[in-house]
A and B are shown apart, each in its own frame.
Chain A
Amino acid sequence: MIDGRLRVPESVKPGEPFEVRVLILHPMENGFRHDAAGREIPVHIVNKVSCTYGGREVFSVDLGTGISANPYLVFFVRAGGSGVLKVEWIDDAGERGSASANVNVG
């Protein structure tokens, strides 16, 4: 389970873009570093983040090794009606995490 944080505005206007903020706890090892004994530290990154609204995917991103540790993502979503916004992330070892929040449209 990869921990993270999610923030959406308390209330949004119908059809107007609102900001979704996501912060994920992850080392994002890029595969170029070595440990104290000189061994290569293998690539270990969150490579997929997706956001669904009412079960439908509204945003997704493939992350690469250029993203720093503990990625902070901000993106915009539009909603016609209230619903549950869920953000999920998965790393290259198959470990997952998610967070969800209610969006009040009105």
Chain B
Amino acid sequence: MWVSALVAAFTAVSGIEYQSDAVKAMQADSFGNPGLLWVDRGAELWKQKCTGCHGDASSMEGVAARYPRHSPQLGRVVDLEQRIQACMPGLAWESRDLLGLTAFVARQSNGVPISVDVSGPAAPLYERGRSLYFERQGQLNLACTHCHDVNAGKTLLSEPISQGQPADWPAYRLDWQSLGSLQRRLRACYFGVRAQMPAFGSDDLVALELYLANRAKWLGANVPGVRR
């Protein structure tokens, strides 16, 4: 209960604010942000495969800010990667094509405040995401909230603990030396608390993404992000 009160009280701060000046500069570099190597591929694919139905990429403005979202067509809540996979079956998780297209589409919504619909058919998954967020997991017996609400802003060894905001993803993580999806990042947290990692595309990860997106309400994204 007291934790929920805390969540309501804090202001959403993007993960980039917890990074060093060098990383901030890297993300802000309109040429040298390494995530743009994936975005270039996404732009190329968009031109080849997407323009037939969706036209110019400007049609995607604001779309990513509404994901994850319930798709009546698919009959379930999907994140942006899964929506793209539904359009183009065969794009593997964490492949350059899927990450590139996701980042390219998400980029059209840079600066657009995140606002997801958690009512109606999305409500059960949202509730699941919320309970996962507050549930202790793994050998370290920690819930998301123990780091990202209670101890956000402090350091874990040499690393600052962020609020765990989902904006800016897919992001280039220096640790990975690659662009990676938000699901990959969430799996890394599961690994960190020594819990069993849910599979890519599993309901648990989408539920968490939905909860986090709603928690990040009104935060603007800056895709591709750069993190340490």
| Number of A-B residue pairs with CB-CB distance less than 8 Å in the complex they form | 27
Bound together, the chains give a CA A59 to CA B85 distance in angstroms of 43
Quick one: which of A3, A68, A69, A72 contacts B40, CB cutoff 8 A?
A3
B55 at the interface (CB under 8 A from A): no
**Beyond A5-B40, A70-B34, 4 additional pairs, beta carbon < 8 A:** A4-B37, A23-B34, A28-B177, A72-B34
Quick one: which of A5, A7, A28, A68 contacts B37, CB cutoff 8 A?
A5
Judge whether B41 and A72 touch: CB under 8 Å. Answer: no
A81 at the interface (CB under 8 A from B): no
Quick one: which of B31, B41, B178 contacts A3, CB cutoff 8 A?
B41
In the complex, what residue of chain B is closest to A4 when comparing beta carbons? Answer: B37
Judge whether B37 and A3 touch: CB under 8 Å. Answer: yes
Given A5-B31, A7-B31, A25 and B37 contact (CB-CB distance below 8 Å):
yes
A48 at the interface (CB under 8 A from B): no
Q: Which residues of A contact B177 (CB under 8 A)?
A: 27-28, 68-70
Judge whether B37 and A70 touch: CB under 8 Å. Answer: yes
In the complex, what residue of chain B is closest to A69 when comparing beta carbons? Answer: B177
Bound together, the chains give a CA A69 to CA B174 distance in angstroms of 9
Quick one: which of A3, A21, A27, A69 contacts B32, CB cutoff 8 A?
A21
B36 at the interface (CB under 8 A from A): yes
Bound together, the chains give a CA A21 to CA B31 distance in angstroms of 8
Q: Which residues of A contact B34 (CB under 8 A)?
A: 23, 70, 72
Q: Which residues of A contact B36 (CB under 8 A)?
A: 5, 23
Bound together, the chains give a CA A23 to CA B31 distance in angstroms of 8
A-B contact pairs, 6 of them (CB 8 A): A3-B37, A21-B31, A23-B32, A28-B177, A70-B34, A70-B177
Interface residues of A in 16-35 (CB under 8 A from B): 21, 23, 25, 27-28
Q: Which residues of B contact A23 (CB under 8 A)?
A: 31-32, 34, 36-37
Q: Which residues of A contact B32 (CB under 8 A)?
A: 21, 23, 72
**Minimal beta-carbon separation of A15 from chain B (angstroms):** 24
Per-position binary interface string of chain B over residues 24-60, scored 1 when its CB falls under 8 Å from any chain A CB and 0 otherwise: 0000000110101100110000000000000000000
Bound together, the chains give a CA A25 to CA B40 distance in angstroms of 11
**Minimal beta-carbon separation of A1 from chain B (angstroms):** 12
Bound together, the chains give a CA A7 to CA B29 distance in angstroms of 12
Q: Which residues of A contact B178 (CB under 8 A)?
A: 69
Q: Which residues of B contact A21 (CB under 8 A)?
A: 31-32
Bound together, the chains give a CA A70 to CA B34 distance in angstroms of 7
In the complex, what residue of chain A is closest to B37 when comparing beta carbons? Answer: A25
**Minimal beta-carbon separation of A23 from chain B (angstroms):** 6
Bound together, the chains give a CA A21 to CA B40 distance in angstroms of 16
Bound together, the chains give a CA A69 to CA B177 distance in angstroms of 6
* Most chain B C-beta atoms within 10 Å of own C-beta, residue among A3, A4, A28: A3
Bound together, the chains give a CA A102 to CA B172 distance in angstroms of 30
Interface residues of B in 178-222 (CB under 8 A from A): 178
Bound together, the chains give a CA A31 to CA B34 distance in angstroms of 22
**Minimal beta-carbon separation of A89 from chain B (angstroms):** 13
In the complex, what residue of chain B is closest to A6 when comparing beta carbons? Answer: B31
